[in-house]
């Protein structure tokens, strides 16, 4: 009886502490972020991977760009940042194709900002291979090499994989952040684009602590 009474007292003392710890957490699943039912695989499991899902033509992504670029510079060595183009429709898929073509040609650093400006800021009608091939050529990228990369097996496979990941995470809008393929953050859930990065910091720490406890 005494033993059971003591256990009851200990349990009663622990409950408020646990409740306080829970309430102290600044962000909660189902509120500021979502836990994916089926995690999206990440290639480098030694890192905590943060993925920005975006579209070149999205004004919200364009507004988010300087914020996330500044944030990425502060990330610790155990965190890796990636970008994933959202292939959510015909035009979006064309722009995802452009993203992976940049990567394949090694001109991402040269063309990423230029294409973002042209589509999200200037609303240029670049919505097919021909218009994009000419646009890239205007910026010094050989048109024939562009078309070869565009039509390559590797680029087409990357676009298909991107579309599969976006569907798997049930992403319906951008920008969206995925943390280690497990957690999804949107501007709507976080409350603002600035808060998206704060929630991401929280989830990075959460994931780091979970790994260290194993």
pTM reported for the whole predicted model: 0.87
Q: What pLDDT score was predicted for residue 24?
A: 54
Per-residue pLDDT at 2: 43
**Is 14 inside any structural domain?**
no
**What does the radius of gyration of the chain's CA atoms come to, in whole angstroms?**
22
Q: Above 60 in pLDDT, residue 52?
A: yes
Q: pLDDT tier at 11 (50, 70, 90 boundaries)? A: very low
Confidence class for position 3, pLDDT limits 50, 70, 90: very low
Confidence check: pLDDT of 22 > 70: no
**Residue 138, token pair as written in the block:** 């205007």
Find the domain containing 128 and state its range. Answer: 28-212
Inside any domain, residue 23: no
**What CATH number is given to the structural domain containing 119?**
3.40.30.10
* Spatial separation of the C-alpha atoms in residues 187 and 205, rounded to whole Å: 20
Cα dist from 132 to 11, 85, 137, 152, 170, whole Å? 65, 16, 8, 16, 28
Q: Give domain status of residue 21, yes or no.
A: no
Higher pLDDT, 115 or 16: 115
pLDDT digits over 138-167, tens only?
Answer: 999 999 999 999 999 999 999 999 999 999
- Domain-embedded: residue 200: yes
Q: How many domains does the chain have?
A: 1
Q: Span 178-185, mean pLDDT?
A: 97
The overall average pLDDT reported for the chain is: 91
Residue 33 lies in a domain: yes
What average pLDDT does the segment 6-14 reach? 42
């Amino acid at each position: 009886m005494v033993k059971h009474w003591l256990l009851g007292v200990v349990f009663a003392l622990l409950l408020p502490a646990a409740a306080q710890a829970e309430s102290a957490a600044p962000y909660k699943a189902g509120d500021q972020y979502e836990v994916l039912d089926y995690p999206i695989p990440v290639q480098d499991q030694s890192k905590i991977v943060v993925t920005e899902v975006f579209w070149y033509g999205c004004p919200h992504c364009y507004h988010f760009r300087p914020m996330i670029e500044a944030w990425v510079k502060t990330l610790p060595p155990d965190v890796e940042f990636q970008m994933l183009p959202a292939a959510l429709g015909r035009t979006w898929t064309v722009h995802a194709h452009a993203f992976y073509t940049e990567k394949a040609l090694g001109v991402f650093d040269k063309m990423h900002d230029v294409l973002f400006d042209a589509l999200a800021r200037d609303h240029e009608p670049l919505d097919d291979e021909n218009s994009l091939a000419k646009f890239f050529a205007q910026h010094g990228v050989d048109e024939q090499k562009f078309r070869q990369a565009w039509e390559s097996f590797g680029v087409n496979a990357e676009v298909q994989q991107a579309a599969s990941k976006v569907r798997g995470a049930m992403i319906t809008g951008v920008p969206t952040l995925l943390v280690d393929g497990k957690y999804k953050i949107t501007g709507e859930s976080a409350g603002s684009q600035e808060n998206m990065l704060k929630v991401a910091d929280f989830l990075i720490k959460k994931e780091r602590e979970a790994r260290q406890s194993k």
